[in-house]
Structure 1
Amino acid sequence: MMWRLSTLFLLYSFSLFAQSPLPSKIYKLKTASDNEKLKLFLELSQDYTAVQPDSAVYYANRGLQLAQKQSNWNAQAVLLLQLGRINAAHHHDGLARRFYNEALSISRHTQDVAGIANAYDELGLLDAEDQDRSSLNPNLTRAMKLYHSSSDSSGIIESYAQLGKVYEQKGEAEKALSYYQRALAQYERQKIKPEAYFILLEDIGNLYMKKGKPQIALTYLKEGIDNSRKAGLRDTEVSLLNEEGIAYQDEGQKTKALSLYKDAFESAKKYKQPEEEAKALINIASVLQKQNSNKSLADLKEAMRIARTIKQPQLEARILEAMAGVYRQEQNYKEAMNALSEQHRLLDSLLQADTAKDIAALDSSYALETSYEKIGALQQTNKHVKSELQIGWIILILVLLILVLIWLYLRKVKRLNQELKASNKIKDTLFSVIGHDLKGPAASAVQLFEMMETEEFTAPELKGMIIELKKQTNASLELLKSLFAWGKAQLQGIEVNKADFLAKELIDRCITLLAPQASQKNITIKDNAPAHLKVHADADHFEFVIRNLLSNAIKFSHPGGIIEVEAKIQDNNEAVFSVSDHGVGISKAQQHIFLTGNLSTSFGTAKEKGSGLGLLLTKDFLKANNGQIWLKSRENEGSTFYVSLPAA
């Protein structure tokens, strides 16, 4: 039983491997120009379409990449149509339709009437396969109208020929022949016959062979041979000679068949077509098998040498089957088994090999699925083991996936807990800031009002108290503004109003506002920023940042110290500002706290208490304006804060 299944499978395989493109085209790619390569890529893809879809897609994709590199829209449309044909030939209708639509879009963009017609033609053929109503198909109707309007006889011929293919695949031989004959009638009007004409004759001949009418088939095959010799199409000529020989052999006319095979062999040898040469030897061996088995084996061994030279494993497999047949005839069963075993190994390696040579456009599982289906009958004993292994791998992967998901979940929970702790810490510190920093200025203001109410003061004294009251009120207001700004940023995000502005004007304003605070500690602020420097950011945010940095510098500077403001434009078109002091400096631990973004309460040289809220807002504002902040500091030597923002 296994022997019969193997034989049936091999026979089926050889029918697929019987046609393959000529290696000469692949050799030409090495020296061809880009335009010639485009043509060769298309031809190779067309040659491989029926038997090796992975190779067909590979060459079509290479051509498409070259066409895209050249911005050659027409070539792109043609190659997209070819990708669609490959998918349609192997029943990937969804992908085929997508490629046809892309080709149609490009042809419409370039106003290529022939390209539009071709795309409609292919879409119509897809619909014809689905609906079996080709005569009423709207896409085919559009294609035919465009072909007729542009007098494109080649397009009309191609439509008829492809419709013939559709019906031939459906098993409707008579309908297929009717469309083939319509295409043939169009060719008869042409003085010079293209290669497609001879392929059409070969298709018609093959169809008549399937119908059991070899005599009629021979008339078409002979016509193809005669005409191809006139046109000098040697590739088609050799192929047709082999086909004609097969027809005569089926008719029982072995002498005539042998003559044709030898003619095909000599022509293939003369015109350097090694694959056709090997095929002719296989056919010669099949005729001589009964009468001269030694000569038959010699021819097959020579064919094997050629197949190995041109690296055609499919052809090798076909030769091995023929050799096994000769050995069986001689009752040399050991050699027959060896040949079949080698053939089985070769086919097995071919079917299981990775056929995904850049097959992204084609369904990646296609080749594997079909390979496993074909070798299933030969590997029943291993099937259950493989299934169990696959299930085991699936279970292992699922377990690993579940473990990864659990790990990610626990990691997320841990991160959320850390964020919650940080949020609670910020909240606690924030309430402490509100309670202390608002309470102090408010209490001072109340005391001043009580003194003004109970005591008598001179006008200058009252003016001084009012000035002090204003300072306390402003301090409270500034803190409230910061709190509201921070709260709004957390709830609604930071609103940014970017514009170009002179940085020096805002720096001067900040220095003026902080002058009383600096004078209390006899601190000098030097502004070395250039007057012309412009920044592209939110002006209010920039002013807040500079004011906060200057306020902190005053707070942590020693009495009589100096604070310097610098600014410059870097090569990357960023403005970098620095505020330097020579005060107490910042420890490594405090620098780490600053970088982590947490709030930290600190005390200045005059015991001024800082909440850290200003620096927190500074970092948020800079981030919103595509800026950055960093610092350099050493304890007891001072600190320098750097701020970068986009220059105007």
Structure 2
Amino acid sequence: MIANEGTAMRRAFLFILLISAGANAQKGHTTKWLRELKEAKPDTAKVNLYYALSRAHWGGNLDSVLLMATKGIELADSIGFKKGKALNCLSMGAGLSGQGNYPGAIKYYLEALKLSEELNLEGLSGNVYGNIAIAYVQHGNLKKAIEYFNKALRIAEKYGEAATREPLINLSDLHTKTGEYALARKYATRALAISRAQGDSSNSAIALFNLSEIYRATNHSDSARLYLQESARISMLIHDHHGVSYCLNSMAEMMVNEGKFKEAIVLAHQSLSNLELITNQELSMKAYHILYQGYFGLGNFRKALHYRDQEIALRNSIFNIEKEREANNLLNQYNLERKELQIQLLEKDNRLQQKEIARGSLIKTIYGVGIIALAVLAGFLIFSNIRWKNYNRIVRERNALIQDQKRTIMAQKKHLEWLNNVKDRIISTISHDFRSPLTTLHGFLQLLKLNAIDEADKARAVQQMEQSVSATLMMIENLLTWGRDQMSGLALTPINFDVSQLVDEGIQLVALRAENKKITIVNQIAAFAWVIADRDAINIVLRNLVTNAIKFSKPNDSIYIAMHKEAQRVIISVKDTGIGMSPEQQKSLFSGSANASTAGTENEKGTGLGLALCQELIQQHGGEIWVESVLGSGSTFFFSIPIR
């Protein structure tokens, strides 16, 4: 157990703050500090107030942490107060780390470290080393985390053994993860001895847990079990529910590995009961996984699948790609800043050349006055004037070139940011919306392989799989069409085709889904209703609208597809008698946001891209798309195609 998890994480931050030379913010003083801030002059005292207010919100309102720290950094910079800037950079890093922006947090921690070392503030340096190490742990760079925890430990040792408990515990956990078990045992044993001597039950429990993990990894199960039992006993006494569940989950894993599935199930249920008192999704997910393994080992595949679904649902809710996105954003930001720096260098070079030109001309003028007669002076001045014009022309040309380069780079910057947003949207959709149907299909195939379900369940599951795969295929097609349109634009190919025939073909593709929900689809468009448009694009629009109508209709509802001409356009409508929409839902309907998507009448899911894609395709035809709906009375979607 490392000091960046659960209550242990909070204890690690406490250690860091105890040796800090900065302001020790107390929550009860916030009102007093705010009053003092309004009356404070822009000096070092005001910088310290910003730090104190920022620090007071650690672990709470992160927006307040970042706001106060930003103001503190700006004021410290303006008055040259390096120590105040270091403290506010530290607080800025803590706020960004709390938001999961670990690259940004490390950037500010390193700035704080540079200033603290420059000012020889050893206590503050130890503070920053610990925070940097925790950020690297969260970012997955264990080697760098060990390096900075060792630096923090060397400083902590100067403050006495009591200050070394947290870095020792953290180092024992990290060395366990890297397979350096001898070092890990050394640090954990030392941390345990110091914690017991100080009467520190909390850190004693963590050190005991870490020792159990080391003995588990080195196949000493009996020793591991003894340390786990003692850690669990202490955690219960001090009401550390996180620690209790860590121990219960670990003991349950040992039981699974030994084939004692019933005992593992009991321990996992105890862990879940304990977690009802707190909120820790990762510990809950681990307990669900152990229950899945236990029931699978007992041959109870139905319960195994149930807990596997619980685990997957929880995993999906906490799944996050922000770390990779932050790294990509940091790289893009670096490239853009480098280009902006090149612009600044060009502008600086231009100014230097202007000064050099002015100085050279002045020297030549003075030299000419000294050696040339007054009669030649007029000719020299004319010549000098021509030279000045040439120099000014060159300067103007260079300035124009620099401005062109700057505009080009800024345009590239905007384009890169836009492409990055498109990439993020595609990755996010693939990561979140494809995972659940594929995982469910995989679980069903496992049950088929084991012949663990009867024929009735099998038929119902096959029907559900068909609906899930059909929805996923349509999701893929929408995503690819939308991505292609966003990245390079779609080239429409208008042809003359029969809309009624296209609708009949589309109805055939969704007939099974409609039949399963007992929904009737009626094509009211007369045969040979010809229009000129891109047939594939109109097919995508119709299929999305009909699929949406099925999604939000109830059993025995009906869907009607009609067409009529109006002025210089054709209007096609898809009407359902389903559940309808509120005015608030209609406002964000075509935004393309994942938040705009809602579950259907049978909990069908979507990406939010379908209607946004329909709008883009219709607008590229020069038409419009809109909806009329009353909550509880169904919806009618209309789109128009100009008559060519």
Q: Is the TM-score greater than 0.5?
A: no
TM, length-normalised to structure 2: 0.36
Q: Which has the higher contact order (CA 8 A, sep 6+)?
A: 1
